[in-house]
Amino acid sequence: MSRVLVTGASGWLGAAVARDLVAAGYEVRTLQRRPSGVDGAEDVLGSVMERSSVERAVEGVEGVVHLAAKVSFAGDEADFVAVNIEGTRALVRAAKRAGARRFVFVSSPSVAHTGAAIMGEDAPPAQPERAHGAYARTKAAAELVALGADAPGFAVVAVRPHIVWGPGDPQLVARIQERAAAGRLPLVGSGAALVDSTYLDDAVSGIRAALDAADRVHGNAYVLTSGEPRPIAELIGGFCAAAGIAPPARRVPAGAAKAAGSVVEAVWRVRPGQDEPPMTRFLAEQLSTAHWFDLRRTRRDLGWRPEVGVTEGLRRLAEHHAAG
């Protein structure tokens, strides 16, 4: 079986992707600062910004799954540019030079999100100039860099998993539960905004499907979700219920949240150890406007469909908590 590089495999999603590829029989190499902890994978410690570690990582690989990124809703824009855009550019170049044939760029639907509600849209082209926030802007630019490198013999696919969650998720689920338990989690707006999300296993199988289908579908971007959108309050309530915590009861008007900033921000932040940052407009929009997607093209082109979904995912989450 061919050798595949997974970047960012010390992260929760990256590790799951690496494990899945190992289980599928790939020879998996990983690239990140800390050991991935993935059994059966060969770790290269380093960063996409370091030329030497990148070159070591891509040597002899047939495919790359690129998850490493700076993911945050705050911070110095220069850091985002360096990691997300330049890191991707360097990795793409090195992979191509090293003779890799497939490259899956793990992106985000926010690269095409301009603040308006999304109801049943597919994946429009990334728009760095219109995306909201440094993360989305730089991911958008990076996606264009990656897809721009698509060429005969070097098949690039972008996948955009939307709000990935599941058991052991140290970011979204854990933080929501923690906030709610402390009574510090309000809902923005009516809580009825319909949002898609992706259970971990669905994101992982979608990423592998993209890798496997790369020769057929290269040059395109695909949204990945579990295909079961839910009102945001129900999703958050589901996360809380899985852990036996009362769901949030307090509400703040969407306008106030957008304008003033709110503790909700912290919940969605994924920078451990950081104090509560101000609410950003992007977050208030994410929490109070619809964003759910048309998966038909993704399903058709990748020959994939989400197998777990939100309802079953929440059941598994509760099982995970019950097991302690």
Partner 1 sequence: MTAAATLPPALPGLDPAWSRLVRVHDAVLGREVVHHVLDTEGALVAAGAEPVGTILAVHGNPTWSYLWRALADESIERARAGAPAWRVVAVDQLEMGWSERTDAVRRVADRVRDLGALTEALGLEGPVVALGHDWGGVIVSGWALEHPDLLAGLVLTNTAVDGHAALPAALKAALAASSVGTEHTTAFLDTTLAIAHPRLDPAVRRAFRSPYRGAARRQGIREFVADIPSTDAHPSREAVDRIAAGLAALAAPALLLWGPRDPVFQERYLHDLMRRLPHAAVHRFEGAGHLLPEDADVAGAVLDWVVAPTPARSAPGAVVPAVETRAMWAELDARADDDAPALVELHGDDTRTISWRLLARRVHELAAGLHAIGVQRGDRVSLLVPPGADLTAALYACLRIGAVVVVADAGLGVQGLTRAVKGARPSWIIGIPTALAAARSLGWPGTRIAPTGLSRLARAALGVEHTLPELARLGSGRALPPEPAPETLAAVLFTSGSTGPAKGVRYTHARLAGVRDALVAQYGIDRGTGLVAGFAPFALLGPTLGCRTAVPDMDVTRPATLTAAGLARAVAAIDADAVFLSPAALTNVLATDPDPAEFDGVRLLLTVGAPVAAPLLDRAQEVLRNASLRTPYGMTETLLVADVTREAIHEAGEGDGVCVGPPTARAQVRIAPLDDDGRPGAATTTDADVTGEIQVHAPHMLAGYDRLWRTDAAAKAGTPHEEWHRTGDVGHLDAQGRLWVEGRLPHVVTTADGVVTPVGVELAAQRAGASRAAAVGVGPRGTQQLVVIVEGQAGPLADPALAAAVRLEVDRPVAAVLAVPELPTDIRHNAKIDRARMARWATGVLEGGPVTTP
Q: What is the largest CA-CA distance in the chain?
A: 55
Q: Enumerate residues 223-252 that contact partner 1 by CB under 8 A.
A: 227-231, 233-234, 237, 247
Smallest distance, partner 1 to C-beta of residue 60, A: 40
Of 80 and 292, the one with the shorter C-beta distance to partner 1 is 292
CB 257 within 8 A of CB 278: no
Strands (E), the chain: 3-7, 27-32, 42-45, 63-66, 102-106, 118-121, 155-161, 164-165, 187-188, 194-195, 198-199, 221-224, 230-231, 251-252, 291-293
Q: Give the one residue of 119, 151, 182, 246 binding partner 1; rule: CB under 8 A.
A: 119
Residue 168 CB contacts under 8 Å (≥ 6 apart), including other chains: 12, 320
Is 135 a catalytic site residue?
yes
Q: Which two tokens stand for residue 72?
A: 């945050």
> In Å, how far from its chain's centre is CA 295?
16
Q: x-or-dash pattern for partner 1, window 33-72, by CB under 8 A?
A: ----------------------------------------
Of 64 and 236, the one with the shorter C-beta distance to partner 1 is 236
Q: x-or-dash pattern for partner 1, window 186-225, by CB under 8 A?
A: ---xxxxxx-------------------------------
Of 83 and 254, the one with the shorter C-beta distance to partner 1 is 254
Q: Which residues bind partner 1 (CB under 8 A)?
A: 117, 119-121, 189-194, 227-231, 233-234, 237, 247, 254, 288-290, 292, 294-296, 299, 309, 311
Which active-site residues does the annotation give? 135
